[in-house]
Amino acid sequence: MADEGMDFIRSMSIAASGLRAQAGRMRVISENLANADSTAQTPGGDPYRRKVPTFSSTLDRSLDARVVSLGRVRPDNSGFRVKHEPGNPAADASGNVKYPNVNPVIEMTDMRDAQRSYEANLNIITATRRMIQRTLDILKA
């Protein structure tokens, strides 16, 4: 029974690490979406730069299992969108305004993927809790 108990703990811990990582990913995506149409604070300056979440996998020695975490959040170095808007306070001397390199369609697709991964990890935790409860019910009988 001790091995099964450790398996339950390991399963829930791995899934919980996935939940935390996907929640972090959703926070980064939300920040990207919130800033998708922002402009620079100064004329001709650079606007918000899209952020890209990464994941890292580490060995949890107490569980003897690999867990995932949100890794470094790195900037997306692709080019900014530029629009000719001479009346905009963020326009440079040529009348061009730089907008973030955020594509809302891509961000929404990434958000949906993160939500599905989050739900999958949550389902693992729920199923594991049900198995633990069934085991306890059997032991009580």
SS (H, E, C) 58-119: EEECCCCEEEEEEEEEEECCCCCEEEECCCCCCCCCCCEEEECCCCHHHHHHHHHHHHHHHH
CA distances from 1 to 5, 7, 67, 82, 136 (A): 6, 10, 24, 63, 11
- Cβ–Cβ under 8 Å, residues 24 and 53: yes
For residue 50, the SS3 value is coil
Domain span at residue 98 reads 2-140
Measured between alpha carbons, how far is 117 from 79 in angstroms, rounded to an integer?
A: 29
The number of folded domains in the chain is 1
Distance CA 103, CA 60 (A): 36
pLDDT of residue 141: 81
DSSP 21-45: HHHHHHHHHHHHHHTTT---SSTT-
Phi first, then psi, for residue 11 (nearest 5°) are -60, -45
Instruction: Say what the pLDDT of residue 4 is.
Output: 64
Residue 1 has pLDDT above 60, yes or no: no
Q: Is the pTM of this model over 0.75?
A: yes
Mean of pLDDT values over 29-54? 96
In sequence order, the β-bridge partners of residue 51 are: 75
Span 79-128, pLDDT tens digits:
999 999 999 999 999 999 999 999 999 999 999 999 999 999 999 999 99
Q: Percent of the chain beyond pLDDT 70?
A: 96
